[in-house]
């Protein structure tokens, strides 16, 4: 089956894998993930650099997987069956982004929440999001486990979204109506569908998902050599108790 949906000379068609579209996609990736750097600078407390890198790397890998699935799904939904008219893949890519970054976020949250409950119930180690341990080997094991759960959530989300497309064929007409103003110019259509719209929606999605996957903790001053660890609430409270005891002990000795 030829995935080029329209003749290459027809500028009204949308091509997701030509040189122009690929350049637009690379620009989107750089702009979207750079916003996470801005988010790190504004977050309080700020995660240690290594923890932030491990958290963000899960989103980078997950984003690459979802983008690939979106391109494949757009071609499959846009490709014509025998005797049926062809569809515009840009319409389906637009719909994938729209649903992924709205309803899809709820699916991701639901899967991650369910996974958290299951791992806590069975007391499985290394699955608590944002907690990686001190040793390099433990960090990589925990990161791999958390990445697996995150990818599972993304794949589940895509299955649900594609099922929704199958159940609601009217969504294609909605997408065509929204993109009608771009139908006469291939490049404008690609820039809007694969850069402007995804950039806005992915920034929102990345920020929400980053808030979900990072560990919730209270601030504690870390020494520079301990900058590869993240302190949990329990450890934070233990430090407070120990500090209080050390402050009380000299007073008791002075009184005696």
Q: Calculate the dihedral angle through the C-alpha atoms of 125, 49, 200, 76, rounding to the nearest 10 degrees.
A: -50
pLDDT of 10 reads 45
Domain-located, residue 237: no
Q: Determine the pLDDT at residue 40.
A: 86
What is the domain extent for residue 86? 19-216
Q: Does residue 149 lie within any of the structural domains? A: yes
Residue 229 confidence (pLDDT): 42
Reading the chain (256 residues) residue by residue, the pLDDT tens digits are 333 433 444 434 578 888 998 999 999 888 878 888 888 888 888 889 999 999 999 989 998 999 999 999 988 887 654 445 678 899 999 999 999 999 999 999 999 999 999 999 999 999 988 899 889 999 999 999 999 999 999 999 999 999 999 999 899 999 999 999 998 888 899 999 999 999 999 888 877 877 777 766 544 444 443 444 444 444 434 444 454 555 555 555 455 5
253 domain residue, yes or no: no
> What pLDDT, on a 0 to 100 scale, did the predictor assign at position 81?
46
What count of other Cβ atoms lies within 10 Å of the Cβ of residue 177? 10
| DSSP code at position 169 | T
Q: What is the pLDDT of residue 91?
A: 93
Determine, yes or no, domain membership for 68: yes
Burial 214-237 (b: 16+ CB within 10 A, else e): bbebeeeeeeeeeebbbbbeeeee
Look at residue 190 and tell me if it is in a domain.
Answer: yes
The four Cα atoms 77, 90, 25, 156 give a dihedral, to 10 degrees, of -40
Phi, psi values for residue 80, rounded to 5°? -85, 140
Residue 230 covered by a domain: no
Is 195 a member of any domain?
yes
* pLDDT the model gives residue 13: 59
Residue 79 vs residues 44, 89, 140, 154, 169: alpha-carbon distances, Å = 47, 8, 41, 24, 15
- Other C-beta atoms lying within 10 Å of the C-beta of residue 252: 8
Question: DSSP alpha helices (H): ranges in 43-88?
Answer: 49-78
**Residue 201 counted as domain residue:** yes
Global confidence as pTM: 0.75
CB distance 87 to 3 below 8 Å: no
Q: Which pLDDT belongs to residue 12?
A: 44
How far is residue 63's CA from residue 200's CA, in Å, rounded to a whole number? 15
In angstroms, rounded to a whole number, what is the distance separating the alpha carbons of residues 39 and 207?
Answer: 8
Exposure string of 106-133, with b = 16+ CB inside 10 Å and e = fewer, is ebbeebbeebeeebeeeeeebbbbbbbb
The structural domain count of the chain equals: 1
Quote the pLDDT of residue 162.
Answer: 94
Compute the distance between CA of residue 152 and CA of residue 224 in angstroms, rounded to an integer. 35
């Amino acid at each position: 089956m030829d995935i080029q949906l329209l003749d290459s000379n027809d500028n009204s068609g949308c091509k997701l894998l030509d040189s122009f579209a690929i350049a637009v996609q690379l620009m989107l990736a750089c702009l979207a993930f750079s916003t996470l750097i801005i988010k790190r600078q504004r977050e309080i407390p700020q995660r240690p650099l290594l923890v932030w890198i491990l958290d963000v790397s899960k989103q980078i890998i997950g984003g690459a997987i979802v983008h690939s699935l979106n391109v494949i799904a757009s071609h499959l939904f846009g490709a014509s069956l025998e005797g049926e008219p062809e569809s515009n893949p840009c319409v389906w890519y637009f719909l994938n982004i729209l649903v992924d970054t709205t309803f899809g976020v709820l699916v991701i949250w639901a899967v991650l929440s369910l996974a958290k409950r299951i791992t806590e119930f069975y007391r499985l180690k290394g699955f608590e999001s944002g907690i990686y341990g001190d040793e390099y080997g433990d960090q990589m094991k925990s990161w791999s486990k958390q990445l697996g759960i995150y990818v599972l959530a993304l794949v589940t989300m895509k299955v649900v979204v594609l099922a929704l497309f199958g159940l609601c064929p009217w969504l294609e007409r909605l997408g065509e109506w929204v993109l009608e103003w771009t139908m006469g110019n291939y490049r404008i259509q690609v820039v809007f569908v694969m850069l402007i719209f995804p950039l806005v929606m992915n920034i929102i999605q990345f920020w929400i998902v980053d808030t979900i996957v990072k560990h919730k903790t209270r601030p504690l001053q870390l020494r520079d050599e301990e900058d590869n660890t993240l302190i949990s609430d329990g450890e934070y409270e233990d430090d407070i108790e120990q500090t209080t005891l050390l402050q009380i002990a000299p007073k008791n000795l002075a009184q005696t």
